[in-house]
Amino acid sequence: MVYELPPVELITPVLLAACDRPGPRYTSYPTALEFSDAWTADHYLKRLSALRAATDHPVSIYVHIPFCRRRCAFCGCNTALCRNDGDIDRYLQALHREIDLVASALPFCPQVAQLHLGGGTPTILSAPQLEALISHLRSHFSLIPEAEVSIEVNPAVTSATQIRQLRELGFNRLSAGVQDFDPEVLRASGRMQSPKDTDMLVREARASGFSSLNIDLMYGLPGQTPDRFCHSLDRVALLRPERIALYSFAYMPWLKDNQKELDEAKLPSRDVKFSLFIAALQRLIMEGYLPIGMDHFALSDDAMGQALAAGTLHRNFMGYTVGRYPVLLGFGASAIGSTGDSFNQNLRSTDAYISRLAADQLPVEKGLSLTRDDRIRQDVIEELMCRFRISYSELSARWDIDGRHYFAAERAQLATQRSGEVPFTEEDESGLTVTPMGRLFVRNIAMVFDRHLKKHADRPAFSRTV
């Protein structure tokens, strides 16, 4: 599979300024900003109980472990500092109870194709705690033989013994939050980690038999320069993980107090930040990685690379996935789930989450029932984010609409998106295709189809698209 690089000489400061605006990453549509507290646990329970006839696919499960021993200055996740081990014990007791309540509401035992533990730092759990959690999940849900069972790990706090224990518990994929290899960049970002930590993690993962390893990198961190980032990419190339997630740092100190610790003066400018991404894109393609959507890369023989080739790549709250799993069961504080036609999100506060479950109530804080228009636009945005195209005949057949007519206004708006004479999209009678230049700004293209976005035009609710 050949990836065509865009004409980078046409990516001017003027173009970046025109495209640089707050926008969603579209792990869902509508986004979580549309969730309402009028959606309650009762609504969620009714949707769960109605899944019997509607579920034709295996489900995904996400489990959120929010605790960290210390909080990194760049972090944008929902985390909680661990004050003592009793906090974890109380949280796990509540988590087990939530699993019981959701499982009892389902009229069948779901087959699970994807199980992911995220955080926070999931490896903050002791071996007995983690074993008990996995055992509890398996007592209610059935993992298919080829299920992807993954966990996020911090190289600085994950030991070789833990890696071996994770493999023994059935985990087959690790996602390592590396971010960068440069010690000065890591120190400026509040990350206490050394390259040796990552080297050890990769070595032990390989020796333990993990079939897939993902490394998270982040560009836009304080102190990053093209030269320094290229050295980090050299280290990644030597480790050769099956997957790489290359995230744009979202600097949002008005939402994340911990980011106020960062020295804003050390953050790369918009133009330098984008040059970091282009350098990584070029280098990773040269190393044989396939660009996946907007910010992931995979080797061709990895399941994600194969999903890209087969056209079965999808996207949900966990990012890009290798299959279509309309039902996502989210467990833990702040976890988001989907029943296919609705979204639900748990309470963000760990204390509130524990209290709600102590009363034997599901900890749902808010959610949303999707309209028909929401689901049509969700379909279109996912096609753009995963396959960079929209087929009018497929869209019309799936939704019994005239796809070209339904999105006439959006098509007209897209015709104005371009870099000089290079358009972001091309259209013919069969559909719409994102150009190589447009792939760099696919969030901006997807935003054209977002019916809710104008309501948030004056709110700094999203990270910037450049």
Range of the domain at 275: 31-331
How far apart, in Å, are the Cα atoms of 232 and each of 60, 156, 192, 245?
A: 33, 17, 16, 14
Query: What confidence tens digit (pLDDT) does each residue in 290-332 have?
Result: 999 999 999 999 999 999 989 889 998 888 998 888 899 999 9
Asked if residue 459 has pLDDT above 70, the reply is: no
In a domain, 350, yes or no: no
In whole angstroms, give the CA distance from residue 31 to residue 35.
Answer: 8
362 is a domain residue: no
The neighbour count for residue 302, using CB atoms within 10 Å, is 23
How many domains are contained in the chain? 2
Instruction: Give the whole-angstrom CA distance, residue 352 versus residue 393.
Output: 48
Question: Do residues 12 and 78 share a domain?
Answer: no
Give Cα 324 to chain centroid, integer Å.
15
Greater confidence (78 vs 430) lies with 430
In three-state secondary structure terms, 217 is strand
Same domain for 175 and 320, yes or no, is yes
Q: Are residues 91 and 205 in the same domain?
A: yes
Does 466 map to a domain? Answer: no
In this structure, the answer to whether residues 275 and 206 fall within a common structural domain is: yes
CATH of the domain at 98: 3.80.30.20
**Mean pLDDT over all residues of the chain?**
92
Angstrom distance (rounded) from CA 297 to CA 289: 6
Is the domain of 293 the same as that of 398?
no
Pick the residue with more confidence: 457 or 68? 68
CATH of the domain at 421: 1.10.10.920
DSSP single-letter state for residue 231: H
315 and 453 both lie in a single domain = no
Residues 447 and 302 in one domain: no
Is residue 359 situated within a structural domain? Answer: no
pTM recorded for the entire structure: 0.94
Asked if 206 and 175 count as a contact pair (C-beta separation under 8 A), the reply is no
pLDDT, one tens digit per residue, over 201-217 is 999 999 999 989 999 99
pLDDT at 267 over 80: yes
d(CA 293, CA 27) in angstroms, rounded, equals 12
In a domain, 167, yes or no: yes
Tokens representing residue 461 in the block: 């609710």
**Contact predicate 268/249, CB 8 Å:** no
Residue 76: CB partners within 8 Å, gap ≥ 6? 250, 252, 255, 256, 259
Using alpha carbons only, what angle is made at residue 337 by residues 334 and 341, rounded to the nearest 5 degrees?
A: 140
Burial class (CB in 10 A: 0-12, 13-18, 19+), 407: buried
